[in-house]
Structure 1
């Protein structure tokens, strides 16, 4: 390979850990296929709590997770995964969604949980 070929060769893009998660969204549910865990799926109408969980494991592992919980099941997805933003856009429209907790989560580098929404919370 000549010098010009080496200089202008396209570099292989390295995948980030979040790229290995596959999120499916339908009118009825959200489903996440994890690279090393069972598939998680929850119907939109089953969601009773939405939170963000942060860890101290970044940047080599996902360290910000959106958690959708309800009816003894849940669905977790790392920030940066394909379609994460679409799921966030949907749930952030829930009445009473706490954007201040999202801001707190964005500045956290510790292991912490931030409650964003809870069904029938008064």
Structure 2
């Protein structure tokens, strides 16, 4: 047991994204957060997709894939198991903005990058 374990009473994950669980079905995506309520969104209800960069790392997720519908959404940390699967699906959407994805990944500042918006 390390000193942090003894001081805090629990171990601290080297990768905070390991604390998130992302169940994916044909109908929906669910994000089970360690400290928040579970978020769920139906694939068919997604209206926009963003990458959100924060300065919270390395002890908290700092890049999030945001799947947004009319009333709510899901935030998926970039390095969590399930991110790549969701990204592979949404990057196939017509008019997905790969340039904004690349800009987000190369950005070290806080920011939001629109990757896709449902056409009206």
TM-score of the pair, normalised by structure 1: 0.85
Distance 1:21 1:15 in 2: 13
Deviations 1:33-70 (A, max 9, x none): 00000000000000000000001121221110000000
Distance 2:96 2:44 in 1: 16
- In the alignment, what sits opposite 2:107? 108
- In the alignment, what sits opposite 1:43? 42
Larger strand share, 1 or 2: 1
Q: Give the deviation of 1:71 after TM superposition.
A: 2.2
- Alignment RMSD: 1.1
Q: Give the deviation of 1:112 after TM superposition.
A: 0.2
Distance 1:104 1:59 in 2: 20
- In the alignment, what sits opposite 1:74? 73
- In the alignment, what sits opposite 1:32? 31
Distance 1:114 1:37 in 2: 24
TM-score of the pair, normalised by structure 2: 0.87
Distance 1:90 1:15 in 2: 28
Distance 1:63 1:15 in 2: 14
Is structure 2 residue 52 aligned with structure 1 residue 53?
Answer: yes
Between the two proteins, the alignment pairs up a number of residues equal to: 108
Distance 1:58 1:51 in 2: 18
